[in-house]
């Protein structure tokens, strides 16, 4: 994982869209910027349309691995360019299988911690005009993931990312996302994920509800 490189840094406020007659407000359409200031809540001038499912301290930063862009291009025979998936940061060398829940990184002036994978919604398919995209992202669990902010600061397009601390190697982002999307009835897997320090509160709540059923 020494090939970590920031491909794009993007922010954007919610906008109104008309997707095939369906009116939706979404912040998926972000704009690449040269620099942005990151607070505990979000990037300045960034936003979400639905705070129940997006944003908040545990989901202050969204990352999508650049390697997936090549895979989706090959699969759908369509060009995808960052930030097609509504991510704030697109990077190489940061695949879900290689990053672990609780990992702490420095990025520019900031310090950020991996909290959860992403639960994708239909806006991804609509925004990219590829109907099967959402189901394929769910199937593969190539969803991207979120960070909380431990130290605020400025990030630029030339900022480098470095792993500061890794507290566990039992549960990668890919493992965790597979449990949330496909294995919530697997009690042993759910219990294992609940034990991981740094896991987002929303995912803890989802897993605890699954355990009660």
pLDDT value at position 35? 98
168-211 pLDDT, tens per residue?
999 999 999 999 999 999 999 999 999 999 999 999 999 999 98
Residue pair 30/16 in contact (Cβ under 8 Å)? The answer is: no
Rounded Cα gap, residues 96 and 85, in angstroms: 15
Q: How confident is the model at residue 19 (pLDDT cuts 50, 70, 90)?
A: confident
Cβ atoms < 10 Å from Cβ of 67: 14
- Residue 63: CB atoms within 10 Å: 26
CB 211 within 8 A of CB 190: yes
Q: How far is CA 49 from CA 14, 61, 80, 143, in A?
A: 5, 15, 23, 19
Output the CATH code of domain 5-167: 2.40.33.20
Q: Where are the domains of the chain?
A: 5-167
What is the per-residue pLDDT across 100-148, written as a single tens digit (0 to 9) for each? 999 999 999 999 999 999 999 999 999 999 999 999 999 999 999 999 9
CA dist., res. 205 & res. 194, Å (int): 10
How many whole angstroms from its chain centre is CA 107? 15
Spatial neighbors of 205 by CB under 8 A, at least 6 apart, are none
Concatenated DSSP letters for 79-96?
---TTTT--SEEEES--G
**% of the chain beyond a pLDDT of 70:** 96
Instruction: Dihedral sign for Cα 62, 67, 69, 74, please.
Output: negative
């Amino acid at each position: 994982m020494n090939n970590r490189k920031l491909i794009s840094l993007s922010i954007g406020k919610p906008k109104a869209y008309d997707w095939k007659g369906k009116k939706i407000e979404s912040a998926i359409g972000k704009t690449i910027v040269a620099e942005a200031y990151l607070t505990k809540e979000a990037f300045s001038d960034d936003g979400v349309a639905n705070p129940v499912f997006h944003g908040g301290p545990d989901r202050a930063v969204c990352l999508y691995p650049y390697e997936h862009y090549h895979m989706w291009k090959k699969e759908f025979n369509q060009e995808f360019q960052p930030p097609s998936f509504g991510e704030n940061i697109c990077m190489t060398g940061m695949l879900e299988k290689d990053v672990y829940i609780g990992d702490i990184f420095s990025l520019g002036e900031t310090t950020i911690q991996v909290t959860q994978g992403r639960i994708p919604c239909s806006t991804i398919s609509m925004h990219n005009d590829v109907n099967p995209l959402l189901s394929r992202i769910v199937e593969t669990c190539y969803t991207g993931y979120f960070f909380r902010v431990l130290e605020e600061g400025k990030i630029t397009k030339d900022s480098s990312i470095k792993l500061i601390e890794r507290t566990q190697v039992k549960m990668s982002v890919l493992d965790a996302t597979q449990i949330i999307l496909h294995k919530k009835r697997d009690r042993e897997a759910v219990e294992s994920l609940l034990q991981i320090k740094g896991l987002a509160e929303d995912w803890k709540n989802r897993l605890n509800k699954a355990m009660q059923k």
